[in-house]
Structure 1
Amino acid sequence: MRPESEPMLKRARMIADLQFGRGCGRALFGEDTTFMLSNTGRLRHLYLDGERTATVRARDGLLTLSASGAKLLYDFLPAPRQRVVVMNDVAPYVARGGTAFAKHVVGVDPDIRAGEEVLVVDEDGRLIATGRAVLSPEEMMELRRGAAVIVRSGQEEE
């Protein structure tokens, strides 16, 4: 790693640790992580082996995950952390990038907050997508209408 990229790696890891929990920064961003900066010189995209792992959102400085970034986080975090569980019947639709609706949610990490990046898994615990939670855990489990997770990247989209 070039010495000038060390502060960027440290920043990316700090964001991931803050957003997803201690240790997630190292799980997502190894020493071979590369960066793309915005026009203003801020950290924007993070890559592992030439594949985008995450993007830093301009509006709040938090991370959005690609399918490969979601897989790294899924492998690191024990269930049910950061997970929304949907019915097996709708899993193929969600894996192709479809919205996960509240009526299909059968389980959720109680510590998730609306607006957070989450991992969507099927009832067997397999990672099928990543996206942004739009409801609280209580709402996901109680409501029968509306979107629960806006899927950003399904595992079968690639």
Structure 2
Amino acid sequence: MSTDCSENSSLFRIRTIAEYQFGRGAGEALFPEGCTFQYSTTGRIRHALYGKDRLATIRAQDGRLTLGIRGAERLHESLPPDRYRVVIAADVLEFVSAGKNAFARHVIRADPGIRGGDEVLVVDEEGQLVATGTAMLSGFEMMEFKYGVAVKVRAGKVN
């Protein structure tokens, strides 16, 4: 649905959310000029698109971003190497890249700044993006626990 919101004010708004959620510089890196938006029936931004690719969705319940795989790729390129990243073991890469959840026992490293509910990037040991999803545990808990879901994967990057 479209609305009277100008694309510039929507771009500013969604970049501000990204800056709050992921840190300085994330807004511009994640949402380039030329992004388009889909709006809810109430006129709020729902999805941010670049071409036909969904970069992110704004969750209605808390106003935070959930990343599409293209958005995760853009963020992966711009964030410092360990920020919002969960490194998983090689033996589960195929499953996680296909969209299956990442379990705590397969986590090799995790950003200690991750909190449960944060949007995270799941990477392999070389730092290559594998998937994106929501952290179910904090970074510390991912390293300490040997059971349970660490990341609820939303989208995998099937090569």
Query: Shorter-normalised TM-score: what interval?
Result: over 0.9
Aligned residue for 2:11? Answer: 9
> Secondary structure in 1 aligned to 2:91?
coil
TM superposition score normalised by structure 1: 0.96
Question: Under a length normalisation based on structure 2, what TM-score does the superposition of the two structures give?
Answer: 0.95
User: What letter matches 1:47 in structure 2?
Assistant: L
- Where does structure 1 differ by over 3 angstroms across 4 or more consecutive aligned residues? none
1:94-122 per-position Cα deviation (integer Å, ceiling 9, x unaligned)? 00001100000000111111000000001
Identical residues among aligned pairs (%) = 52
For structure 2, the 5+ residue unaligned runs are none
1:36 maps to 2:21: no
2:87 counterpart residue number: 85
How far is 1:139 from its partner?
A: 1.0
Instruction: Name the amino acid aligned to 2:101.
Output: T
Deviations 1:21-68 (A, max 9, x none): 111000011110000000000010000012111000000000000010
Q: After superposition, where does 1:38-77 map in structure 2 within 5 Å?
A: 38-77=40-79
Question: Counterpart of 2:16 in structure 1: which amino acid?
Answer: M
1:115 to 111, 117, 124: 117
Alignment of 1:17-32 (within 5 A): 17-32=19-34
Return the offset for 1:80. Answer: 0.4
Between Structure 1 and Structure 2, how many residues are aligned?
156
1:132 aligns with one of 109, 120, 134: 134
Gaps of 5+ in 1: none
SS at match of 1:54: strand
